[in-house]
A and B are shown apart, each in its own frame.
Chain A
């Protein structure tokens, strides 16, 4: 009955080797988000899609890209992962984009960079 599904749960990559994390949703929500959460830190928004409109946070490094080929799927691409990119990556969705929208999160992908 999962609604926001992230694959894989754990991902190990090498320094500098591109990696892609995936997210799918069965909620048919308009908005999909990618958050980065490092240990003992607050989840940090990287970017979001409203339908096909992409919105990048001002402080998101260029190393991070995203694709949303259709309503259900969204991908996070890290072009050249550094050691500092090791973190939990959380995908979330919301029906719409506004101040009182609830976010529905996936279980996250824990990324390790060796």
Chain B
């Protein structure tokens, strides 16, 4: 039972355009969400996070939006750069109960074409 879903296995965008990566979750106890980026042959690295008390968090070219009612979050990258080409994992956790561990989605492979 996948609690964190990334329904697009891959996404291709042109350099300079916006990349939008989507993530849906089913567990209403989740209250903290993170995005990790993974290059080939490397481990995932933390990119950006958002708490459920917010609906937007921005860090440079990266913005994460959270829609709690829809149980949906998205990562926006603008402008996209070829170096952003990587697998992006959405992850979620809960500050209480038994869901404190990070639950990951399957990832979305982003390719930014020059």
Contacts and interface: CB of A to CB of B under 8 A. Distances in A.
A74 interface: no
Interface string A96-114: 0111111111111000000
A4 B107 CA distance: 22
A107 B102 contact: no
Interface string B21-50: 000000000011010100001111110010
Contact of A42 (B46, B49, B105): B105
A106 B96 CA distance: 27
B43 A105 contact: yes
A39 B107 CA distance: 11
A18 interface: no
A41 interface: yes
Contacts of A76: none
A37 to B, nearest CB: 9
A100 B32 contact: yes
A43 interface: yes
Contact of A103 (B4, B46, B105, B106): B46
Contact of B94 (A4, A48, A99): A99
Interface string B74-98: 0000000000000001000111100
Interface of B: 2, 4, 9, 31-32, 34, 36, 41-46, 49, 51, 89, 93-96, 99-107
8 contacts: A40-B9, A42-B2, A42-B106, A97-B100, A100-B49, A101-B93, A106-B43, A107-B41
